[in-house]
Amino acid sequence: MKYLVLSDMHANLEALEATLHAAGSAYDRVLVLGDLVGYGADPNAVIDQVRRLPVATLIRGNHDKVATGLGDVEGFNRIAREAIAWTASALTDENRAWLAALPPGPVLIDDTVEICHGTPFDEDMYVFEDLDALRALRAARRPLCLYGHTHVPAVFELDEHDTDALSIGIALDLIGPPRGSAYSVVLDPQLRYLANCGAVGQPRDGDPRAAYGVLDTNARTLAILRVEYDVPTAQAKIVRAGLPPVLAQRLALGR
């Protein structure tokens, strides 16, 4: 099975459309790791587009949850609060109900893969450090756990068979990708992986291109890919909508 992996679209229709165009037909089903809305100016159009895809599994993100009234904005900064208030008012009743019905992660896909938004033990938790990644891997129930939320591509590898490394605490490695580069890893059946394929709609690794993944469970490969999209149009929509201008500015910076 070939899966297209999408996360953190954040109502950026231009980025989503460019990603789908780049992916073409080179996948069977889609895994969506949450945060379809928030920050961008096209929440309804992005939801409508995702609903037309051959989705295998779709889970909610923290912005999806808060925009539909299932969570509060306590952990959001001022700009995120303004954006989520605008999003909540912009959603159609149908899309709000659909978004509110999305399940939380983690969700088991098959014997190899599970998905979550933040971590397997907390859907809103960020993986910022090695200890965060190790804790997530310990909580994961499958050899490969795909996550989102940070908007930064990363692949962690855990070798539980390397007893020497485990004894001195270095069995976990951040193996890629190099910043701004496409990346592919062959998944060793003896190892465990925690992988973030990056953000479609608001990258934060210094590369403004949309990021997505392609997982081939038969070949046991995961590719993290980048595609350029029409940033000026996405920016103009944000400004016209009256959203905080910094949300438009950051798209060009990948921050």
C-alpha to C-alpha distances, 218 to 1, 2, 17, 28, nearest whole angstrom? 6, 8, 27, 12
Q: Tell me what the pLDDT averaged over the chain comes to.
A: 94
Long-range contacts of the stretch 184-188 (C-beta < 8 A, 24+):
184/221, 184/222, 184/223, 184/224, 185/155, 185/221, 185/222, 186/220, 186/221, 187/112, 187/143, 187/144, 187/220, 187/221, 187/222, 188/157
pLDDT at 217: 96
pLDDT at 178: 79
Strand, helix or coil at 184?
Answer: strand
Amino acid (one-letter) located at 190: Q
pLDDT at 177: 85
Query: Per-residue pLDDT tens for 54-101?
Result: 999 999 999 999 999 998 888 899 999 999 999 999 999 999 999 999
Say what the pTM is. 0.93
**Mean pLDDT value across residues 121-148:** 96
pLDDT of 238 over the 90 cut: yes
Query: Per-residue pLDDT tens for 20-35?
Result: 999 999 899 999 999 9
Domain ranges of the chain: 2-253
Q: Is residue 125 a contact partner of residue 12, using CB atoms and an 8 Å limit? A: no
pLDDT at 162: 55
pLDDT at 168: 40
Query: Per-residue pLDDT tens for 179-192?
Result: 777 899 999 999 99
C-alpha to C-alpha distances, 94 to 36, 44, 51, 100, nearest whole angstrom? 15, 10, 12, 10
SS (H, E, C) 54-107: CEEEECCCHHHHHHCCCCCCCCCCHHHHHHHHHHHHHCCHHHHHHHHCCCCCCE
Assigned CATH topology for domain 2-253: Purple Acid Phosphatase; chain A, domain 2 (3.60.21)
Tokens 């809103």 belong to residue: 124
pLDDT at 134: 95
Strand partners, 226: 211
Of residues 162, 158, 152, the one with CA closest to residue 173: 158
pLDDT at 170: 56
User: For the chain, what percent of residues have pLDDT higher than 70?
Assistant: 96
**Mean pLDDT value across residues 225-239:** 98
pLDDT at 150: 97
**Mean pLDDT value across residues 164-192:** 78
pLDDT at 45: 98
Of residues 34, 43, 41, 197, the one with CA closest to residue 102: 34
